[in-house]
């Protein structure tokens, strides 16, 4: 089984210095997780075309799409020499609130092919039970119920509407397979019940697909996914194609996925937890999640605007905390009690909504007491030391995310060690 890491412009600066908090340049000074860890802590990269809408502009030079001036996605990601395959998907979640996909089959085929993707997933539409639309737009849909939500309207789609989306995905799948050239086509199966998913998979196999991506499973319960996989096995469908699970990483599901010979899955959850979750930012070598210590940059204008009047010595407070943490890391500061109170007092100044003093005091105490970052021998933890558990700026936070992916991947490889499919050859291009 293979693990793909979704890519969302998650690179760090090569020359980042945590002590001076400086770095230079942009993409030309980029460092990817697969350049820090040898071997890379994943078997492939999933890149969503939806990302071009939000983060990366796809510029056309003489009619050819380019990413930051590079014409080939594998060259852009610098993965060719590592043998890491790149899979593309249409980013169906970015247009889930629309009547139909915003991307045509022709556009998707052209983009995958010109940018040199190894695999391209067909243009699908998620059968999401609930969507959020602008007021007045709900008339375009057939729905069971609606309610106002954050200035928009939340509607619960009828089964007819869900079926309409599933049929769009299948029709697109058929056209996509006929047109795909220069990459290996992957058929996206959508559904809104085990039966409809199974039917979609059967249809895609009949069309001629030998690789199928199960989409729209992210909000589904683990029991649902398990039942779906077992049904596909029972119907003999698992043997007829390779299967990829889009965005699904459930630790408890991995043994079943391995036993059923699921080919691959992807998830960014371990990466993003590093900066999205309040309490679970750093995955320890002991398998437990730890918080990271918030030491915001007091010069950050966005933070300054939200804060009440800051004391004149705020910069001094910040400097003392960072120095204190590093002294503790080196073993020069035995008792962290005073330092912990300074950290809490400093964070209190910024009045952040999510800041719950008592809770953080406990989480920080647990982290400091454990010194868990010192037990990890990965290149990120060795290079950053205590800075890996300091929540401050993208260069630290993303590196912490890379560490989390590495810890996950180690666990995954030991679970996976019997299957030995890491060395399996890529399927032939069409």
Residues within the interface to Zn ion (CB under 5 A): 376, 378, 380-381, 403
Given a contact cutoff of 8 angstroms between Cβ atoms, the answer to whether 180 and 127 are in contact is no
Of 84 and 378, the one with the shorter C-beta distance to Zn ion is: 378
Nearest to 209 by CA among 184, 231, 191, 230: 184
Min dist. Cβ of residue 385 to Zn ion (A): 11
Non-local CB neighbours of 237 within 8 Å, separated by 6+ positions:
198, 201, 202, 205
Tokens 């800075």, residue?
387
Of 34 and 403, the one with the shorter C-beta distance to Zn ion is: 403
Min dist. Cβ of residue 283 to Zn ion (A): 9
Min dist. Cβ of residue 212 to Zn ion (A): 35
Of 262 and 378, the one with the shorter C-beta distance to Zn ion is: 378
- DSSP codes joined into one string, 18-56: TTTTB---SGGGEE-HHHHSSS-SSSEEEEETTHHHHT-
* SS3 category, 249: coil
Min dist. Cβ of residue 46 to Zn ion (A): 23
Of 127 and 378, the one with the shorter C-beta distance to Zn ion is: 378
Of 74 and 403, the one with the shorter C-beta distance to Zn ion is: 403
Min dist. Cβ of residue 406 to Zn ion (A): 6
Min dist. Cβ of residue 172 to Zn ion (A): 42
Q: Give ∠ CA 300-306-312 in degrees, rounded to 5.
A: 65
What backbone torsions phi and psi does residue 251 show, to the nearest 5 degrees? -50, -40
Min dist. Cβ of residue 376 to Zn ion (A): 3
Of 257 and 380, the one with the shorter C-beta distance to Zn ion is: 380
Min dist. Cβ of residue 285 to Zn ion (A): 8
Of 181 and 410, the one with the shorter C-beta distance to Zn ion is: 410
CA–CA separation, 430 and 427 (whole Å)? 9
Min dist. Cβ of residue 148 to Zn ion (A): 46
* Strand locations in 234-353 (E): 242-245, 264-266, 282-283, 289-290, 293-294
Min dist. Cβ of residue 134 to Zn ion (A): 44
Non-local CB neighbours of 423 within 8 Å, separated by 6+ positions:
none
Given a contact cutoff of 8 angstroms between Cβ atoms, the answer to whether 123 and 172 are in contact is yes
**Residue 80, by phi and psi: left (phi above 0), alpha (psi -120 to 50) or beta?**
alpha
Of 122 and 292, the one with the shorter C-beta distance to Zn ion is: 292
User: 391 vs 10, 297, 360, CA distance in Å?
Assistant: 16, 10, 13
Non-local CB neighbours of 371 within 8 Å, separated by 6+ positions:
329
Min dist. Cβ of residue 403 to Zn ion (A): 4
Nearest to 101 by CA among 195, 211, 215, 200: 215
Sign of CA pseudo-dihedral 52, 57, 63, 68: negative
Nearest to 133 by CA among 122, 118, 146, 114: 146
The token pair that represents 261 in the structure block: 């010979």
Please give the span between the terminal C-alpha atoms of the chain, in angstroms, as a whole number. Answer: 23
Of 241 and 381, the one with the shorter C-beta distance to Zn ion is: 381
């Amino acid at each position: 089984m293979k693990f793909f890491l979704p890519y969302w412009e998650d690179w760090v600066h090569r020359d980042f210095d945590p002590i001076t908090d400086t770095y230079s340049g942009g993409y030309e000074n980029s460092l990817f997780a697969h350049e820090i860890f040898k071997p890379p802590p994943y078997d492939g990269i999933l890149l969503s075309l939806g990302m071009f809408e939000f983060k990366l502009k796809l510029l056309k030079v003489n009619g050819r799409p380019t990413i930051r001036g590079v014409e080939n996605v594998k060259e852009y990601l610098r993965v060719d020499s590592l043998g890491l395959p790149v899979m593309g998907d249409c980013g169906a979640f970015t247009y889930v609130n629309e009547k139909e996909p915003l991307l045509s089959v022709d556009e998707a085929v052209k983009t995958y092919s010109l940018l040199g993707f190894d695999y391209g997933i067909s243009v699908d539409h998620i059968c999401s039970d609930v969507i959020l639309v602008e007021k007045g737009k709900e008339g375009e849909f057939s729905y069971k119920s609606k309610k106002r939500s954050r200035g928009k309207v939340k509607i619960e789609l009828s089964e007819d509407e869900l079926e309409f989306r599933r049929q769009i995905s299948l029709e697109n799948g058929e056209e996509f397979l006929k047109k795909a050239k220069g990459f290996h086509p992957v058929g996206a199966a959508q559904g809104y019940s085990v039966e409809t998913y199974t039917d979609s998979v059967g249809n895609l196999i009949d069309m001629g697909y030998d690789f199928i991506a199960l989409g729209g499973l992210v909000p589904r319960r683990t029991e649902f996914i398990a039942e779906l996989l077992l049904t596909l096995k029972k119907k003999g469908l698992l043997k007829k194609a390779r299967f990829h699970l889009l965005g699904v990483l459930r630790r408890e599901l991995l043994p079943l996925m391995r036993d059923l010979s699921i080919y691959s899955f992807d998830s960014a959850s371990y990466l993003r937890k590093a900066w999205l979750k309040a309490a679970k930012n750093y995955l320890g070598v002991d398998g437990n999640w730890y918080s990271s210590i918030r030491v915001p940059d007091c010069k950050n204008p966005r933070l300054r605007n939200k804060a009440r009047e800051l004391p004149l010595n705020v910069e001094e407070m910040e400097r003392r905390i960072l120095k204190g943490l590093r002294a503790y890391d080196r073993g020069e500061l035995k008792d962290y009690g005073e330092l912990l109170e300074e950290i809490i007092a400093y964070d209190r100044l910024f009045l952040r909504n999510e800041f719950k003093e008592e809770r953080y005091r406990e989480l920080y105490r647990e982290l400091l007491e454990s010194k868990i970052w010192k037990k990890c021998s990965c290149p990120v933890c060795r290079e950053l030391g205590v800075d890996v558990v300091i929540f401050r700026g993208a260069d630290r936070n993303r590196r912490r995310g890379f560490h989390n992916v590495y810890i996950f991947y180690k666990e995954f490889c030991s679970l996976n060690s019997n299957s030995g499919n890491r060395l399996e050859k890529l399927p032939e291009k069409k």
